[in-house]
Structure 1
Amino acid sequence: MTAVRNLDPSASPLDYYGSELRRLRETAGLSQAQLGSIVFCTGSLVGQIETTKKVPTRDFSERVDAALGTDGMFSRLVGLVLRSQLPSWFQPYAEMEARATFISTFQPQLVYGLIQTEEYARVLMSVDCKDDLEGKVAARMERQRILERPSPPATWVVLSEAALHQEIGGRAVMRKQLSRLLELQNRRWLSVQVLPFAAGEHAGLDGEFTILRFGDDPDIVYTEDFIQGHMTANPESIREGSLRYDRLQAAALSVRDSAALIARVMEERYGEQPESDERSMA
C-alpha cells in the first residue's frame, strides 16, 4: 500500500491534483483500492497519483469525475497538470501555441509535434527522458487537443522529405505515422506539404522554425536548439521568417503531390514485408 505523504497543494498543478483526489476520495469514504476498482485501475495507481509519483491521464480524470461526482473538475485540471509536465523553457511557447489562430511550421528532420502519433512521440522522447516518460508523452498528446477544437488554428506544415525517411521506432511506428499524415490531409484547416530532396538548396537550411499568428496580438517566430526554444515578435524577424516560409511553400510539392509521395514512401519503405522462407534458400 502506498505510504501517506503530505502534499503542498500550492506547489504545482500536480500536487494540487493529488491532494484534491485524496481529499475527495476520503470524503466519499473510499479506499484507494475501492476507487481503483470503480475507475478500472489498481489502488496502487490511485495512490501514486495522489502522491505525485504518477501523472494522471485525461481518461483517468474523466473516470474519476464520474465516480466522485466532481462536475468535471479533474477533467479541467488535468490540462494544467499535463502542461506543467512540459519542459519549463517550452511552456511559454505551448501557451502561445494554444492561443494561435494560424500556425505555419517547417520541420527538416522530424514530424511536427502536433501531428505525431503517440508511438512516434514515445520513441523520440525516450532518447533522453530519464523519468516519467508516459507523463511526458501524455503532455504532448494533450497539446494536440487544440487541433480538435470546433474552431482549431489553421495549420500549415512543410516537412522535408528527410522526415519521411528518418526511421523512428521501426517500420510499424513509421507506417502508422505516415498513415496519420495522410488522414490529416482530409481536414480542411490542416495541410501538409513535403519539400522533396530534388528541391536542392532551400530557404530552410538553417533549421526548423514556426510562425504563430493571432487575432489581435503581434505574430511570433519560434526557433529551437538542442538546449531550449526562442520566441520573438521582432518585426524584422517576422518579415524574414514569413519570406522564408513563402519560399519553402513554393519549393515544396503541392498538397496532393505531397500526399502521393507520403503514400509511396509508406508502402515502399515501411510496407508489410512477407517473412522470408529459409527453406526456399536451401
Structure 2
Amino acid sequence: MQPDEVTFSNPVLAFCFDACKHRKERNMSLPKAGVTTRGIGFELERLRTKAQLTLQDVGKGLGVSASTISRLENGKRQPTPEEVSAMLAVIGVIGPERNRLLDRARGGDGSGLVEASNPTVQSRTYLNFETRATVITDFELMLIPGLAQTPEYAYAIISAIQVDEEESSIEVRVGRRMARQAILARRRPPELNLILTEAALRLPIGGPGVMTRQLRHLVDLAGRANTTIRVIPADVVGHAGLLGQFVILDFANDKPVVHVEDRTTGLFLDEPARVALYRLTVEKLAAVALDEEDSVRLMKSIAREFDGE
C-alpha cells in the first residue's frame, strides 16, 4: 500500500480523496502554491489545533502520512477542494466555517487573497504571515506602524478609527496589537524596516504626552540592531507613498507577500510583478527619506516640542 493511499471506510472521505487520486492519475495539474494556499494552510492548522488533534491523528483519519498533512498546512502545495473537505470532516468542522474554507479552496490559482467580508480572518491571516516573516518592511503615511506603537497610542488610534465598536472591544484590539510585538523580543527577531512621514510624527494622537512617549519609544526601537526607521521630511510634499500604507513580508523559505489594507478589506499579494512594484516604491521612498541618524534626530526634536507644550 502506498503511504498516501486512503484506507478509511467513511464513504464521504473516500470519495473526496478518490477524486483527488484520479485527478493525479489523469495528470491534471494542481494549482500552484501561493498566498491563498498559505492562508488556507494557516486555517487548517488552527482548526486542527483547536480540535486538539495532531498531524498524525488527521493523517490516520485520512489514510495519509503526517508529512502530507504538514505540507498542506505549511502551504507547500495548494490543497484541492476534495482534500480540504476531507480534512475538515476529520477535524469535525461544519457549517459556515467549512463553507468559507471550501470557497477559498475553489477560488482560483492561489496567487492572491482578498478577505473583504471577514476582518477576523483577515487579521488572523496577517498575523500568521507576520509571525513567520524574517524581514518586515512597513510604510505608513499618517500613523505609527502597529509593531512600533505604545499601548496608549494604540488605544487612541483604535478608538478613533473603529467607529462601530464598544469600549471593551477596543481594549481587546489594543491587547492583540501589543501581543504582536512579542516577535521583536524573540531570540532571533525579524528585521524591521519602518518608513514614516514627518506628518505622522507630528499628528497629536492622544495628546502631547502620548506623542512624547510614543516618539521616545520610536527612538529606543531605532537603537536596536534589527530595526531601522527612516522619516520622510515634511518638505518632501510629493512621494511614491501618497496612495497609502503597505507592508512587505519576506520569509526564509517562502515567497514574499505584500499586504495592503483599508477599513474593510485586506489584500494579500505574492505575484512577482506586483511585489517588485512595491519594492520599487520602497526604493523611491528611501531615496527621499532622511538617513537613520537624521531620522532619530528629528524624532527627538519633535518629542521635545511635544514635551514642552
The alpha carbon displacement at 1:200 in A equals 2.3
Partner in structure 1 of residue 98 of structure 2: none
Partner in structure 2 of residue 55 of structure 1: none
Determine whether 1:182 maps to 2:215.
Answer: no
Q: 1:223 is paired with a residue of what secondary structure?
A: strand
Tell me, yes or no, if the aligned pair for 1:90 and 1:228 is still in contact at 8 Å.
no
Q: Which of residues 93, 113, 121 is equivalent to 2:126?
A: 93
Partner in structure 2 of residue 205 of structure 1: 242
Q: How far apart, CA to CA, are the structure 2 residues paired with 1:95 and 1:112?
A: 17
Partner in structure 2 of residue 234 of structure 1: 271
More RCO (CA 8 Å, sep 6+): 2
Deviations 1:191-221 (A, max 9, x none): 1110111122111111101100001100111
Q: How far apart, CA to CA, are the structure 2 residues paired with 1:255 and 1:123?
A: 27
In angstroms, what is the RMSD of aligned CA positions? Answer: 2.3
Partner in structure 2 of residue 117 of structure 1: 150
Please show how residues 32-181 of structure 1 align to structure 2 within 5 Å: 87-127=120-160, 128=162, 129-130=165-166, 131-181=168-218
The alpha carbon displacement at 1:123 in A equals 1.1
Identity %: 35
Q: How far apart, CA to CA, are the structure 1 residues paired with 2:244 and 2:299?
A: 21
Partner in structure 2 of residue 271 of structure 1: 307
Mean alpha-carbon deviation: is it higher for 192-201 or for 125-134? 125-134
Deviations 1:199-253 (A, max 9, x none): 2211111110110000110011111112121111011111100011011111100
The alpha carbon displacement at 1:272 in A equals 3.3
Q: How far apart, CA to CA, are the structure 2 residues paired with 1:167 and 1:91?
A: 30
Describe the shift of the 1:258–1:213 C-alpha distance in structure 2 as closer, same or farther (beyond 3 A): same
Q: How far apart, CA to CA, are the structure 2 residues paired with 1:142 and 1:245?
A: 27
Q: 2:308 is paired with a residue of what secondary structure?
A: coil
Determine whether 1:257 maps to 2:290.
Answer: no
- What TM-score do you get using the length of structure 1 for normalisation? 0.65
Q: How far apart, CA to CA, are the structure 2 residues paired with 1:87 and 1:260?
A: 38
- What TM-score do you get using the length of structure 2 for normalisation? 0.59
Tell me, yes or no, if the aligned pair for 1:101 and 1:215 is still in contact at 8 Å.
yes
Q: How far apart, CA to CA, are the structure 1 residues paired with 2:286 and 2:138?
A: 10
Q: Which runs of 5+ in 2 are unaligned?
A: 1-45, 53-118
The alpha carbon displacement at 1:155 in A equals 0.6
| Paired residue total | 194
Q: 1:206 is paired with a residue of what secondary structure?
A: coil
The alpha carbon displacement at 1:134 in A equals 2.0
